[in-house]
Structure 1
Amino acid sequence: MTGLAAPGHLADTADLGEFRAAVRDWCRDNVPVDWRRAQTGASETEFVAFQREWFERLHRAGFAVPHWPREHGGGMSVERQVVLYQELAAHDAPRLVLSFVAIHHAAATLLGAGTPEQIARHLPAIAAGEIWVQGFSEPEAGSDLAALRTSARRDGSEFVVTGQKVWASGAQYADWCLLLARTDPDAPKRQGISYFLLDMRSPGIEVRPIRQATGEAHFCEIFLDQVRIPAANLIGPEHGGWQVAQRTLGAERGLTMLELAERLGNAGFDRLVRECLTPDPLGGRPIDDPLVADRLAVLDIEITGLRALCRDLVERHATDTVGPADASIVKLYYSELLQRTMDFATEIGGVPAHTVLRKPMSGGWESGAWVLDFIGSWEWTIPGGASEIQRTIIAERGLGLPRPSKES
């Protein structure tokens, strides 16, 4: 396996062209050639083993957490992050599915609100492969997250937590959980919530996978029955968890999009174009239809705009100039563009596309199994704040529009 200097060192000595050439060489030597075949129909054990090995391979190269601060193993410039994700997508690299919450959501939360002890405990562990899950949504608290009812009662130096979480991605594999629970039932709903770091090996936790329409069980329910969490695992002030959660949701709606935008453009859209260029049994090509060519042109323009939005958002994070609605704009744009693209790809794929009923477990939402990709794209317009919620945030926080009156 070919190694490569950590990107922070390389960025200091190489120009952008040299960096791209180095990443390209690394991808040729390290991206598993047959990973799609091996991960299609893989068992859970095989999936987890593959994800851990792929994370370790990226980590050794310095490519696992390029967005982290330099002192924690990141420090890659925005320009180099764009190049990195472009090359990974161009070489059809697998996604870090299991590590996604850990390296993005957990890291952003810890760096923004964690104590020095919490940061020192968890960031090195995440860099070593620790898996995290997000325990936010509940059966009656999805888009209205502040309506959550999971309770956390203080008992000396511990909190005792009881309740249920749902739509927890990858909970069956997780070592730790980012958990929101209500610590003051009498306070206004956004003021009585606390944020905890929960060890998933704690007694009283039951995880139940949810079988999806695609046949996968990516989402889970988490049941908490008198689970004890040390008070030292409280992140941010007691009853101040809502403000801390905004950092987590900001990472979900913002910085994570840079990679996803490049995958949509370099992997998903390119695959769609190749399919449109492929002759059918009668010799015709979808792209010869002016309506198809026009739709492709529109999608190409929209993806270019998405890439520009994502790059701008990352640059704003680096200079601490992110607007209150910027992340919501990117999340809304990406999620609905992804859905439109996969819908069109399913239409182009026709009847044969409906016979592809399996996709690689370590892939994204642009795998080429168009029907499953389209179904999966709904993960983005509903969880993490539905499109309607994002539009409300943009209207109120971004544009300064008034909240609608109760009479309207």
Structure 2
Amino acid sequence: MSVPRGDLAELRATVRGWCRAHVPADWRRAQTGVGGDEFVAFQQAWFQELRRAGYAVPHWPAEWGGGMSAAEQMVLYQELAAADAPRLVLAFVSIHHAAATLLTAGTDEQRRRHLPGILDGEIWVQGFSEPEAGSDLASLRTTARRDRRAGGDVFVVNGQKLWASGAAHADWCLLLARSDPAAPKRRGISYLLMDMRSPGLDVRPIRNALGDSHFCEIFLNDVEIPAENLVGPENAGWQVAQATLSAERGMTMLELAERLGNVGLRSLVDTCRRPDVTGRRPIDDTLVADRLAGFDTEIAGLRALCRDLVERHDAGTVGPADASVVKVYYSELLQRMTGFGAEIAGLGALAELAKPASSGWESGRWLLDFIGSWEWTIPGGTNEIQRTIIGERGLGLPREP
């Protein structure tokens, strides 16, 4: 299907019609309580459905299947959210982090190999955090020793990675490892593409507070990675990683803001309209109505921030702390909204033990959503780290001692 360019009304009508024809009507029920294999199969099939329509990677360059402007992406995400379409949960790292890394710092050969692979369903995981290197990522200890043996050139990697979302299903990993132990900690790190089928890898799922196991630990024991899988210069992986992390706090926020404003707020209003045990509707309470109006206003601000960030990113005028502002704003608004939903839902929320596997952080299972929302203030740099970035790089305040 060809995607109309320039005419936003035509694009909106096209996407809306496509959603009516292609969004599975019962996907929430079908994806609640499913196992890993069913989740992966559904996600892969939905990705290909979006790909055939030209909607899977709208933020990529046109030559790789994207090419939508920020305004066009806004329309696309608005309509997908309004139609309650499943999210590309499994492809998140692939289409955002991996693609941003390859497009920014990868070689032509790496792009030719992996970008089509991602479009065909290649699953990626991010191997950054470690037990002693979370917010202070530059303190990572996983080592990558270069070995130019006869007939080959490889990095031999040893160490451990933590909080690797989706690692149990992944084909490839974006890996940060220390390749020069003697260098200052931000200057001795290399960025590598690791095949998850490599000998010496051990992936162990971690069960979280919701009962899910999408977090994993990755143990690496003499894992050999070909030197051709090095992204950017050796020992300059820290700089490459910034492009990966900024992708999470940039383009992805367009979709997340629309999900929060459509699925999230709509579901919250519906919850407030249901009578409680006394027969009264929470929405008839002026305090509840005021909170809902406040959330609506905050979401309008979030949408404006996200669109401005993407437009200035495309124009090359984005500030060094702008993405951090959006990340803090979104994550804390998400917490407040889901927390309010859990409060309104009351004791009935305690009986909800599972949420749809392909939903976002605002599924309407409010207690589970609220617990899961705290995850957003931690990945990609905690909100405390983000506030430091905002203060130092955005406002020009003195650096922390």
Q: Which TM-score tier does this pair reach, normalised by the shorter chain? A: over 0.9
Distance apart, 1:44 and its partner CA:
1.0
Partners in 2 of 1:225 and 1:72 — Cα distance? 35
SS of 2:222's partner is: strand
Residue 300 of structure 1: SS of its match in structure 2? Answer: helix
Q: Is the 8 A contact 1:42 1:361 kept in 2?
A: yes
Distance 1:183 1:275 in 2: 52
Query: Are residues 1:142 and 2:134 paired?
Result: yes
Structure 1 residue 167: deviation in Å?
A: 0.3
CA offsets 1:121-168 (integer angstroms, 9 cap, x no match): 111111111110000000000000000000000001110000000000
Q: Is 1:299 the equivalent of 2:291?
A: no
Match for 1:255 among 247, 251, 257? 251
Paired with 1:113 and 1:87, the residues of 2 have a C-alpha distance of 32
Aligned to 2:44: 52
- Which consecutive residues of structure 2, in runs of 5 or more, have no partner in the other structure? none
One-letter amino acid of the counterpart of residue 180, structure 1:
L
Q: Write the distance in 2 (CA, Å) between the matches of 1:386 and 1:344.
A: 22
| 1:2-401 correspondence to structure 2 within 5 Å | 4-5=1-2, 7=3, 10-11=4-5, 15-156=7-148, 157-401=153-397
Once the two structures are superposed, what CA deviation does each residue of 1:283-336 show, in whole Å capped at 9, x if it has no partner? 311011121111111111111100101111111121121111111111111011
> What's the secondary structure of 1:11's corresponding residue?
coil
Q: Displacement of 1:255 after TM fit? A: 1.2
How far has the Cα of 1:279 moved from its partner?
2.7
- Percent identity between the aligned chains? 72
Partners of 2:300 and 2:253 lie apart in 1 by: 13
- Give the partner amino acid of 2:37: T
Give, in whole Å, the separation in 2 of the partners of 1:172 and 1:398: 38
Amino acid at match of 1:230: P
| SS across alignment from 1:27 | helix
In structure 2, how many angstroms separate the alpha carbons of the residues matched to 1:87 and 1:230? 43
> What is the distance in 2 between the residues matched to 1:343 and 1:41?
23
Give me the whole-angstrom Cα distance separating, in 1, the residues matched to 2:289 and 2:185: 50
How far off its partner does 1:356 sit?
A: 0.7
Q: Residue 114 of structure 1: CA displacement?
A: 0.5
Matched position secondary structure for 1:18: helix
Distance 1:369 1:213 in 2: 14
Residue 282 (structure 1) shift: 3.6
Deviation at 1:95, TM superposition (A): 0.6
SS in 2 for 1:256: helix
Deviations 1:184-218 (A, max 9, x none): 11111101100001111111111000000100001
Q: Cα offset for 1:343?
A: 0.4
State the AA in 1 paired with 2:335: Q
The separation in 1 between residues aligned to 2:322 and 2:194, in whole angstroms, is 30
Displacement of 1:17 after TM fit? 1.1
SS of the residue aligned with 1:279?
coil
Paired AA for residue 127 in structure 1: L
> 1:254, 1:328 within 8 Å by CA — same for their partners in 2?
no
My pick for the range that moved more, 75-84 or 142-151, is 75-84
Name the SS for the 1:195 alignment partner.
Answer: strand
**RMSD of aligned residue pairs (Cα, Å):** 0.9
Deviation at 1:281, TM superposition (A): 4.6
Contact 1:97 1:362 in 2 (8 A): yes
